[in-house]
Chain A
Amino acid sequence: MSTEARFATGDWYAVVGDHATVLLPGSQRGRVAQLWDLADSGADLDAVLDALLAGGLSSLDHFALVAHGDDTTRLIVRGAPSAAVSSGSGEEIVSATAGTTWAERVVTGVTSVRVTLTGDGAVEHVLTPGLARVSAVEFGAPAHATATEAQAEPEARPEPEPVAASVPDPEPEPEPEPEAVEPEPQAAPEPVAAAPLHFGEPGDDPTPTGETPVVQDDWSDRDGQTQVGVPVPDFDRPPIPGQEMAPSVVSQPVASLVFSTGDVVAVDRAVLVGRAPEARRFASHDQPHVVTVASPQQEISSTHLEIRPGAGADHGSAIVTDLGSTNGTVLAQPGLDPEELTPGIAVSLIPGAVLDLGDGVTIQVTNA
């Protein structure tokens, strides 16, 4: 049998894969979405049936499943749908009798199968792999056409083969319409760049079992409504008042720090000094140097001060900021009286400057 198929529009879903076609009522949107993945990957009838039944039979009152083998056609019908099967040995109507689970047939030499879901519309659209909303589906040559071909031809009734080539594919939508339409009004009114991305409402979850939430949800928060908004750059590190943002990393160190402990550190990026310094909110490319200094008397705070390349008027030199240390920092610049650093206020360092953190730890600033 030719596997060429046509359909009449309606409100059932047809999930058409290469090997198997599933027909489900409009209420089974969740299952349709799951099955499409499977059908599209070329799953056979057994795999599709397995997935179809995974959610339980109780929520699945009606469906039809048609699979084409090399020369056999397998057909399962449950509930309302009925199928008319024409084969070399005659025509048969397959439908599930009330009270049975389903009706199943394996037929060889099939010439056509017509599955009627709702109504008896003319199957005038070509059914290609994908999703379609249907009321009836027919595979192979129409049952009456084989018998009365000569007489059917002259009538304006289009025949399958020529029509398939000439009629423009009437099925441009590979997805279920209702879902496709939904997100659009939200995104459309806003300029694309500014519109938050919508990640779907909780009700959109297609799950094997349910159309309705387990608990009627009248809460409005913390239920998966998280959205991505517009990124706002640089809100994280407020610039020091009156100064330009310092570059995070510079190619040439602006100074070298000689610690009383013997460490020497180049200032080509932020340097954090303390008893147990912590670096916060940096990007992977500007990881600060952290320098741990011993402080037996606990005079040095865990993250005591920061030294980084300066910007603007301080471009090319290092600047130091006391990060709110408990016991403070004393800065001695050459030719000036020692001064206590004010927490949070950056001071430009000149070569020869000495920083005293307490507990005998000093940092001397030298040319890079």
Chain B
Amino acid sequence: MKNVDLHHGAATDVGLVRKVNEDSYLVAPPIFVVADGMGGHSGGDVASQMVVEEFQRLVEVYDPTRGAEHVADAFARAQARIVDYGNAHRALQPGWHAGTTAVVAVLVDDHGVAKWLLANLGDSRIYRITEGCLEQVSVDHSVVQELIDAGRITEQEAAVHPERHVITRALGSPEGIEPDFFLLPLGSVERLLLCSDGITGMIDDAVIEDILETVADPRDAADRLVRAAVAAGGRDNATAVVVDVVGLVKDATYDSQRQLQSLESKLGGRL
């Protein structure tokens, strides 16, 4: 697989209402994760952090030719830890559960060709910019999404539906996990967005599209998305990870030093 140059940005905010940020994210090229934890009593932030930790661990041993297998394994390890954690707490508090959504993007090597492998569980989302337009790639695992798919409600009705918070799949679920995977050619993704529902629940797709298409630097774009969600009410933790595929390059892997240098050169004129 040729090396692919990725530029990325990430931002998160607790919002204006909640007191704890239960979102976690990982930016470790070529692995990107956003997880939105659920549960009071420090259950949610621990659960989402466990997902991030398992993918952080994956970074060191990641083999792009076995991407789907690696991602599925990391999910399984995170699931086991969250279930254990939930069981330990349930001994003290009956009915207590910890859980988290997760959206993951990794670069994989599909028979020598670099591709995006995406995965999701729950109602965090993956969007892409393709041919200049925003497109939601992941399909929410939620009751309202199923009702929309069945043609029983419209997206407008979903926004006010009483069961809009009920998700049908999550890490930490005793039923086990069943992530959806997506395999996209690199060239079909000009820009990738991973975000929690604190973004998508607060600002419309049109606003997301506008920010992703007008803000060139992925760090600024992630920041703008989170700030827009907070400015719109900030009812939930908001997290955005934006990744740009800059192009296929011969011999340079992405490294944070280069990103730092590019930041310095941008600031250079003003220092």
Of A179, A180, A197, the contact of B173 (CB 8 Å cutoff): A197
Binding stretch for chain A, among B51-59, B197-205, B208-216: B197-205
**Majority-rule SS of B interface residues:** loop
Within 8 A of A (CB), among B91-112: 92-99, 101, 110
Of A199, A287, A288, the contact of B40 (CB 8 Å cutoff): A199
Of A200, A229, A232, A283, the contact of B163 (CB 8 Å cutoff): A229
A202 to B184, CA, bound (A): 37
Q: Hey, what's the 0/1 contact readout for A173-199 against B, CB within 8 Å counting as 1?
A: 011000110111011000000001111
A33 to B173, CA, bound (A): 24
Nearest chain A CB to B70's CB is how many angstroms away? Answer: 10
A181 to B262, CA, bound (A): 55
A231 touches B19 (CB 8 A): no
Of A196, A200, A215, A276, the contact of B41 (CB 8 Å cutoff): A200
Of A183, A226, A227, the contact of B93 (CB 8 Å cutoff): A183
B173 touches A232 (CB 8 A): no
Please name the residue on chain A nearest to B76 by beta carbon: A284
Set of chain B residues within 8 Å of A199, measured between Cβ atoms: 38-40, 43-44, 97-99
A236 to B146, CA, bound (A): 8
A197 to B178, CA, bound (A): 17
Set of chain A residues within 8 Å of B181, measured between Cβ atoms: 279, 281-284, 287
B188 within 8 A of A: yes
B256 within 8 A of A: no
Within 8 A of A (CB), among B36-86: 36, 38-44, 68-69, 71-72
Set of chain A residues within 8 Å of B197, measured between Cβ atoms: 222, 226
A206 touches B179 (CB 8 A): no
A335 within 8 A of B: no
Known contacts A199-B98, A210-B19: A228-B185 contact under CB 8 Å:
no
Set of chain A residues within 8 Å of B93, measured between Cβ atoms: 175, 179-180, 183
Set of chain B residues within 8 Å of A285, measured between Cβ atoms: 72
Set of chain B residues within 8 Å of A230, measured between Cβ atoms: 168
Set of chain B residues within 8 Å of A202, measured between Cβ atoms: 17-18, 40
A267 to B146, CA, bound (A): 30
B18 touches A278 (CB 8 A): no
Nearest chain A CB to B150's CB is how many angstroms away? Answer: 8
A179 to B89, CA, bound (A): 12
A221 to B167, CA, bound (A): 14
Known contacts A206-B41, A217-B17: A227-B166 contact under CB 8 Å:
yes
Known contacts A219-B235, A221-B235, A224-B18: A198-B95 contact under CB 8 Å:
yes
Nearest chain B CB to A140's CB is how many angstroms away? Answer: 28
Set of chain A residues within 8 Å of B237, measured between Cβ atoms: 224
A292 within 8 A of B: yes
Please name the residue on chain A nearest to B117 by beta carbon: A287
A201 touches B40 (CB 8 A): yes
Set of chain A residues within 8 Å of B69, measured between Cβ atoms: 284
A339 within 8 A of B: no
A98 within 8 A of B: no
A236 touches B236 (CB 8 A): no
Known contacts A214-B17, A221-B235, A232-B146: A205-B94 contact under CB 8 Å:
no
Set of chain B residues within 8 Å of A215, measured between Cβ atoms: 16-17
Nearest chain B CB to A217's CB is how many angstroms away? Answer: 5
B123 within 8 A of A: yes
A279 to B166, CA, bound (A): 27
A284 touches B179 (CB 8 A): yes
Of B22, B110, B123, the contact of A224 (CB 8 Å cutoff): B22
A225 within 8 A of B: yes
A280 within 8 A of B: yes
A243 to B142, CA, bound (A): 27
A222 touches B201 (CB 8 A): yes
A227 touches B183 (CB 8 A): no
B170 within 8 A of A: yes
Set of chain B residues within 8 Å of A183, measured between Cβ atoms: 93-96
A284 to B36, CA, bound (A): 22
A179 to B123, CA, bound (A): 27
Set of chain B residues within 8 Å of A219, measured between Cβ atoms: 17, 233, 235
A92 within 8 A of B: no
Of B113, B139, B169, the contact of A292 (CB 8 Å cutoff): B113
A197 to B174, CA, bound (A): 9
Set of chain B residues within 8 Å of A290, measured between Cβ atoms: 110, 183
Within 8 A of A (CB), among B153-185: 160, 163-170, 172-175, 178-185
B143 within 8 A of A: yes
Enumerate chain A interface residues (CB-CB to B < 8 A).
33, 174-175, 179-180, 182-184, 186-187, 196-207, 209-210, 213-215, 217, 219, 221-232, 235-236, 276-285, 287-288, 290, 292, 302
Having A180-B92, A200-B39, A283-B178, one finds 18 other A-B pairs with CB under 8 Å, namely: A187-B94, A197-B99, A197-B173, A199-B39, A199-B98, A200-B40, A202-B17, A205-B19, A205-B41, A209-B19, A215-B16, A221-B160, A226-B38, A228-B38, A228-B172, A277-B185, A280-B182, A282-B181
28 contacts between A and B (CB under 8 A): A180-B92, A182-B95, A184-B94, A184-B95, A187-B95, A197-B174, A199-B44, A200-B40, A200-B41, A202-B17, A205-B18, A207-B19, A214-B16, A215-B17, A221-B164, A221-B165, A222-B235, A224-B18, A224-B236, A228-B173, A229-B142, A229-B166, A231-B168, A232-B168, A235-B146, A236-B139, A288-B183, A290-B110
